[in-house]
Structure 1
Amino acid sequence: MNRQQPRFRNKRGVVGVIFREQKLLVIRRSLTVPAPGKLCLPGGTIEKGETEEFALVREMQEELAIDVSPIRLCWRSVTPWGTTLAWWLASLAEDKTPVANPAEVSEVHWMTRSQIRSTSNMLPSLPEFLGASQSGEIELDVAF
């Protein structure tokens, strides 16, 4: 019997870390995407041939109709399902308001650390990020 081994796919994603008035931009995923209804930071898959910065800009435009400027990589993590995530600090002009693309995002919020911690139904990477930022593992350049 000839059994094929499953192919390992090195999936990579990018996450936008965007602050306004010491609050973090957080989304709730739509019900039509993987991990439906979960709270997380905006982001998505880095497509073949894309840089992390390009993917960040594209994903923010697709999910929230906003143009962001990548500042710097602030953290890397791996999801429980093996996706490597690049967490990028990014800036958003003060006069720009994120607008959810309902195909991908059901809600958009600006939240403090305590507000995020008091919610439920979030992707596991979000509390890990909060913990790493609170312990000083991540330098955010923002009082959060």
Structure 2
Amino acid sequence: MSHFKQRIGKKRGVVGVIFRDEKLLIIRRSLTVTAPGKLCLPGGTIEKGETEEFALVREMQEELTIDVSPVRLVWRSVTPWGTTLAWWLAHLDADVTPVPNPDEVSEYRWMNSDDICAAREMLPSLPEFIQAVRAREVELDFAF
């Protein structure tokens, strides 16, 4: 019984994988949230009753005031603290400019894989994702 409760109680999150000109949308977390000041991809907790796709759309709207269209699931991972993450490729119209919600995001950047690998202060899932892309564990429609 306790094993079942533990499995059900694990948190689930969704991550937005959003490209523009073969650069990835990266955020810096605000200083008032968990892991303050860290670089990561935008995303958040999947609430009870939400699909991954719905949570993706909601989180992008909450964090960056952008409307995205989920394309497909590209990867799954588990954080060191036990949260299962669903990494979703999402489409953002080319003329849309993200507007960070200062309660959650201090800034955003468009970064290529070399920029990301050279950056400091990032959540551990970000370099793991880049490694998975480079190892072709993540299928994208272009080289990144």
Question: How many residues end up aligned between the 2 structures?
Answer: 138
Question: Any unmatched runs of 5+ in structure 2?
Answer: none
Letter in 2 for 1:26: I
For normalisation by structure 2, the TM-score amounts to: 0.94
Alignment-derived partner of residue 29 in structure 1: 29
The 2-side partners of 1:88 and 1:20 are apart by: 15
Alignment-derived partner of residue 66 in structure 2: 66
C-alpha displacement of 1:141: 1.3
The 2-side partners of 1:98 and 1:44 are apart by: 17
Spell out the pairing of 1:1-144 with structure 2 (5 A cutoff): 8=6, 9-144=9-144
Letter in 2 for 1:113: S
The 2-side partners of 1:51 and 1:141 are apart by: 24
The 2-side partners of 1:58 and 1:142 are apart by: 27
Runs of 4+ displaced beyond 6 Å: none
Which has the higher Rg, Structure 1 or Structure 2? 1
The 2-side partners of 1:89 and 1:137 are apart by: 14
Letter in 1 for 2:115: Q
Residues 61-110 of structure 1 show CA distances to partners (whole Å, capped at 9, x for unaligned) of: 00000000000000000000000000000000000011110000001000
For normalisation by structure 1, the TM-score amounts to: 0.94
C-alpha displacement of 1:143: 2.3
CA RMSD, Structure 1 to Structure 2 (Å):
0.8
- Sequence identity, in percent? 74
Higher helix share: 2
